[in-house]
Amino acid sequence: MNEINQFAVKCFEDEAQAILNLIPRLDENFTKAAELIYKCKGKLIVTGVGKSGHVGEKIAATLASLGTPSFFLNPLDAYHGDLGMIATGDVVMAISYSGYTDELLRFIPLIIDRNVPIIGVSGNPDSLLAQYSVCHLNIAVDHEADPLNLAPTSSTTTTMAMGDALACALVHMRNFKPSDFARFHPGGSLGKRLLSTVKNSMVTENLPIVKLDDKVSDTIIAISQTKQGIAVAIENGKIAGVVTDGDVRRAMRNQQNGFFQLKVRDIMSCNPKTVNEKAKLTEAGNMMRKYNIHSLIVVNDDNQLVGIIDSFACLL
């Protein structure tokens, strides 16, 4: 390993150890902080200056995505009108590694005057910030990861990890579910899978439909003309069965010389798996994984064929 990579390894080791060192410091302060946020009737306002502010923005964003109404407020902006964003019923999380950041401390009395509780996050449990706080989260590090021990590296890592730990605890306390997460992320792939229905993603045109007395050769053509890997057998307007790639291969192996005399009714599966068009994409995906299949027949409330959906559509 070259010298440059060794610096990277040392950084990883130092920051990882700094996070592990937080574990023995978890006490009633962490529990109280989590309960304050959980029981908060208003908003969680995260504040900090400089690098602490940047980390605070990430913490606020993470908590908001997991069900806690929260946003970041720069203390400097509070002096120019943004103080009106804080009201009784809110909770403030104030971040300062030293616990003595001047711009933040001048902001603290304005928060206290509004009877808003403060969760202090610093590396000094004896700091002024800690004294002003109703609970204090200690994110102290033995040294920064940078070779000069000057730039906030390990300390910003522990701060972010502490915010993530609160977020994880609150997920449990709120019984927050993937479907809840999706409502906050409707534009992402997870939101699409959790909120979209089968109807939004199924194939409805040029469906591979065959009749019970169709020849196997015709069925192979029908299957090959689509990407779903199946053909649906219809009798009297109802779904009678399905022929898959696997059905064709098994029939070819078992019948050999008599293969091309077979008809659809001879090789089809009579109880195909179906999913309602109103079902969520996740439900369709779970069914395909459960039964180890790649496509599902989509039906309406009258159990009539309306489309086909494959596993790729459920991954979008």
Q: Identify the weakest region by mean pLDDT among 41-55, 126-140, 169-183, 293-307.
A: 169-183
pLDDT band at 27 (very low <50, low <70, confident <90, very high): very high
**Range in 23-37, 153-167, 172-186, 249-263 with the lowest mean pLDDT:** 172-186
- Helix residue ranges per DSSP H, 140-293: 154-173, 178-184, 189-195, 198-201, 216-224, 245-255, 264-267, 281-291
Domain 198-315: top CATH class:
alpha beta
What value does the mean pLDDT take over residues 303-310? 89
Q: Would the pLDDT of 187 be above 70?
A: no
Give domain limits for the chain.
3-176, 198-315
Residue recorded with tokens 């790729």 = 312
In terms of pLDDT, which residue wins out, 8 or 315?
8
**What is the pLDDT averaged over residues 219-245?**
84
Residue 160 scores a pLDDT above 80:
yes
Which residues sit opposite 48 in a β-bridge? 95
Residue 180: per-residue pLDDT: 60
| pLDDT for the residue numbered 166 | 97
Select the more confidently predicted residue: 132 or 254. 132
**pLDDT attached to residue 189:** 52
pLDDT attached to residue 286: 86
CATH topology of domain 3-176: Rossmann fold (3.40.50)
Percent of the chain with pLDDT over 70: 93
* Three-state SS letters, 137-184: EECCCCCCCCCCCCCCCHHHHHHHHHHHHHHHHHHHHCCCCHHHHHHH
Which region, left, alpha or beta, applies to residue 115 given φ > 0 means left and ψ of -120 to 50 means alpha? left
Average pLDDT (138-154) is 93
37-54 per-position pLDDT tens digit: 999 999 999 999 999 999
Q: What integer is the mean pLDDT of 49-66?
A: 93
Are 161 and 171 in contact, with CB atoms under 8 Å apart? no
Residue 314 has pLDDT above 60, yes or no: yes
**Mean pLDDT across the stretch 165-185?**
77
Contacts 24+ apart (CB under 8 A), 130-135: 130/99, 132/105, 132/108, 133/94, 134/32, 134/36, 135/28, 135/29, 135/30, 135/32, 135/33, 135/36
Q: What integer best gives the mean pLDDT of the chain?
A: 87
pLDDT at 58: 96
User: Cβ of 142: how many Cβ atoms within 10 Å?
Assistant: 10
pLDDT at 94 over 90: yes
